[in-house]
Amino acid sequence: MLNIKIFGIVQGVGFRPFVSRLANEFNIVGNVSNRGSYVEIYAQGSDDDLKSFLAALQSQNPPRSAILKVDVNHLPDEPFIDFQIVESTHEAGDIFVSPDIAICDACKRELFDPNDRRYLHPFINCTACGPRLTILKNMPYDRERTSMNDFPMCDACAEEYFNPNSRRYDAQPVCCNDCGPEVYLLGSNLRGLDAIAHARQILIDGGIVAIKGIGGFHLACDARNFNAVQRLRNSKTRPTKPFAVMFKDIAAVRRECLLTDAQEAFLDSPAKPIVLVGKRDWGLGTSIAENVAPQINRLGVMLPYTPLHMLIFDLPDELDDFPDALIMTSGNPSGVPITIDDDDALTNLECDAVLSHNRQILLRADDSVMDFVDNKPSMIRRSRGYAPLPIFYRGKGSVLAIGGELKNTFCLAKNDLFYASPYIGDVSDLRTVEVLRNSIRRMSDLLEILPEVIACDLHPRYQTTAFAMELATAYDLPLIKVQHHYAHVLSCMAENNQHEVIGVTFDGTGYGTDGTIWGGEFFICNANHFERVASITPFRQAGGDKSSREGWRIAVALMKDISLARELNLASDAELSGQKFLLDNNLNCVPSTSVGRLFDAVAAVLDVCKVSSYEGEAAMRLQACAERSDKNFHATFTTTDKIFDDILTRRLNGEDTCDLARLFHVSLAEMTAQVAEDLSHKTKIKTVALSGGVFQNSLLSSLTAGNLRRRGLKVLRHSMIPPNDGGICIGQAVHAMNFND
């Protein structure tokens, strides 16, 4: 008899039924069970059959599973008579929890098949699809440890659940119209399909509907309806930040957007993220309202990923002209995490109706957002569908890394496994701290990681730092503070499994070890320590918080002559004089090397964006502008102060602003490569890691990587971990693990 232990993503992906089917195929008797951290098989049969069984286990595993390790031991035979799936037992060890999986094609066919007993059932799922992480209380993954425990299976569902030949064999969330959860419209007595039909009517009429999804509520409206979109903007106090659009199908996406094969593959993958794609048309001319993603050339798109989404688009009722594109934006008041329960939705979401259901969401997970750089995936927000898949890097012990202040995610790590949480949000709001606290508790229960060390950012005034200190004191654990940009580089190193690099972080804001603002840094580093070997030319950031939203303030600081700011109409005379007063008297000024702010300043000078209404707006618009120019520039200046002066002079001479936006990108990319090349000569390190929020800019990233490769250097970039602050929890954990080396 063989005792086989399989480690990896083997829970909640149909692994045990798969094993059972193979056992029948190869005449194997014995059993299979979930052990929390692994699947254990006792297999007995002829030597040939066992050999084929073992090979098939590893080559034909279910599509959403991932085998990381297989242990095989020989034991004496036992009197098994058949092959069985046995009840889960629990053992401690490395835990792999499956992310949530979008509805599969087979379930979609049944959903719209009038002869199927789950016809139009909003919660249809199977062994290969459905919610996972967001409905899970504890491991191992069994129905009583999920929020489906509230819905006992009917006889027909139980029959499928226990039948090895069924697609729903051992599928924990399995249910049907008779036994499953129910959709309803809050504050009315409409339930089920009537509730969905009513929500459809509201959407057709230009209304806003809050819809409960997998990881939280969305706010939805017709993406073709300018007034509806504007109402949504007003209610979310979100004047210009782009909204994501859920299209009914790929054909509808193609009508509006330019889609590469790689983008389409991700868009339609089991994780179903939001993918940033090129608009067919810059402004008007398509059916999508121009205020959905104003002033930029790209659109965040996604496809329906739950049966409820599909019913909202395609319920066979009498209504026609239902939009094939809906805004789907996270349902939350500004600055607060996504809403997951009914009371909160009723009180805090401004909308015309709330379409909810009674399957509890236990852990928040916003939609993931994926961009493409040089035709390769580049994660912007890693959440639903991806969290909590671990990444592997060397380490020892166990760590809780709290992450950054904005776009927060946290990381629980144990030895060489680093699990980043779903997206939490901006922790500057105290309500977010509570969500962070609860999410940490739930994830550490789920992954069974009790941290021995806590890591956080170095910033003395971050809420996350205060929270980390509180935890460290309460549990009497050591606290390790990790410099922000070093954490960025470490996350990039970890993702690429590299141990020593020249690290380049171009970023918005981060607290430097000298108390100034960093964000244009060159490091020599490994997981244990870093050295800041170069940075961009420092300037003064004057005006406190305003200086990170109002690029013209940075531009004034970079100019030698204030009259040029007047000539360019950067701000009113009073504002310009006020800013000059601060600078002249060194009031409210902090030295800064932030490349994010440099982008803001250039965007202001080029009249692309003087004041940002959301983080990164100026940079996104500057990139969009640069991409309209096809002029071939050769960079001449290699310090950022000279690059800025050059752009300013050319602007005053009346050169085209899009050409100059392009020149700025080209110059910055050239400067970066030259500095890295010098450092490589000095240190003999041949690998350069690019990280920080500014490298979300695909044009800058692409130009810089090209320049580095032409110089014979190896380039590491982010792919599945965001280059922005959503990725730094991993870097913090990596350093905390390797602190004593």
Would strands 517-526 and 500-511 be described as parallel, antiparallel, or unpaired?
antiparallel
How far apart CA 739 and CA 30 sit, in angstroms, is 46
From residue 481 to residue 520, the character string flagging contacts with Fe ion as x (rule: CB under 5 A) and all else as - is: --------------------------x-------------
**Both tokens of residue 81?**
């008579």
Q: Which residues contact 457 (CB under 8 A, 6 or more apart)?
A: 402, 403, 404, 405, 464, 465, 481, 482, 484, 487, 510, 511, 728, 732
* Residue 694 near residue 506 (C-beta atoms within 8 A): yes
Please tell me whether residue 204 binds Zn ion under the rule CB under 5 A: no
Q: Among Fe ion, Zn ion, none, what does residue 104 contact (CB within 5–8 Å per kind)?
A: Zn ion
Please tell me whether residue 107 binds Zn ion under the rule CB under 5 A: yes
220 alpha carbon, distance to own chain's centre: 20
Q: Given its phi and psi angles, is residue 335 left (phi above 0), alpha (psi -120 to 50 degrees) or beta?
A: left
**Which of 176/288 has CB closer to Zn ion?**
176
Residues in the chain: 741
**Which of 615/725 has CB closer to Fe ion?**
725
Q: Among Fe ion, Zn ion, none, what does residue 725 contact (CB within 5–8 Å per kind)?
A: Fe ion
Please tell me whether residue 154 binds Zn ion under the rule CB under 5 A: yes
Query: Of all helices (H) and strands (E), which one includes residue 459?
Result: none
Positive/negative CA dihedral, 545, 548, 553, 556: positive
**Which of 155/321 has CB closer to Zn ion?**
155
Please tell me whether residue 615 binds Fe ion under the rule CB under 5 A: no
Q: Which residues contact 73 (CB under 8 A, 6 or more apart)?
A: 2, 3, 4
**Which of 174/379 has CB closer to Zn ion?**
174
CB of 411 to Fe ion, least distance (A): 15
**Which of 157/643 has CB closer to Zn ion?**
157
From residue 641 to residue 680, the character string flagging contacts with Zn ion as x (rule: CB under 5 A) and all else as - is: ----------------------------------------
Please tell me whether residue 256 binds Fe ion under the rule CB under 5 A: no
CB of 407 to Fe ion, least distance (A): 9
Q: Stretches 119-127, 260-268, 291-299, 444-452: which one binds Zn ion (CB under 5 A)?
A: 119-127
Q: Stretches 123-131, 276-284, 564-572, 669-677: which one binds Zn ion (CB under 5 A)?
A: 123-131
Q: At 43, phi and psi to the nearest 5? A: -130, 130
* Residue 474 near residue 466 (C-beta atoms within 8 A): no
Q: Stretches 175-183, 579-587, 694-702, 720-728: which one binds Fe ion (CB under 5 A)?
A: 720-728
Q: Among Zn ion, Fe ion, none, what does residue 178 contact (CB within 5–8 Å per kind)?
A: Zn ion
**Which of 507/550 has CB closer to Fe ion?**
507
Please tell me whether residue 725 binds Fe ion under the rule CB under 5 A: yes
How far apart CA 177 and CA 121 sit, in angstroms, is 6
**Position among 41, 133, 136, 157 found at the interface with Zn ion (CB under 5 A):** 157
Q: Which residues contact 236 (CB under 8 A, 6 or more apart)?
A: 219, 329, 333, 334, 350
How far apart CA 299 and CA 316 sit, in angstroms, is 29
CB of 317 to Zn ion, least distance (A): 24
**Which of 50/101 has CB closer to Zn ion?**
101
Sheet holding 2-9, edge to edge: 66-74, 2-9, 38-44, 29-34, 83-85
**Which of 154/479 has CB closer to Zn ion?**
154
**Which of 173/727 has CB closer to Fe ion?**
727
**Which of 154/204 has CB closer to Zn ion?**
154
* Other CB atoms within 10 Å distance of the CB of residue 351: 22
Q: Which of 351, 306, 341 is nearest to 210 (CA)?
A: 351
From residue 392 to residue 431, the character string flagging contacts with Zn ion as x (rule: CB under 5 A) and all else as - is: ----------------------------------------
Would strands 83-85 and 66-74 be described as parallel, antiparallel, or unpaired?
unpaired
CB of 105 to Zn ion, least distance (A): 8
How far apart CA 491 and CA 142 sit, in angstroms, is 33
Beta bridge partners of 73: 3
Q: Stretches 152-160, 357-365, 520-528, 703-711: which one binds Zn ion (CB under 5 A)?
A: 152-160
How far apart CA 560 and CA 549 sit, in angstroms, is 22
Binding residues for Zn ion (CB under 5 A): 104, 107, 126, 128-129, 154, 157, 176, 178-179
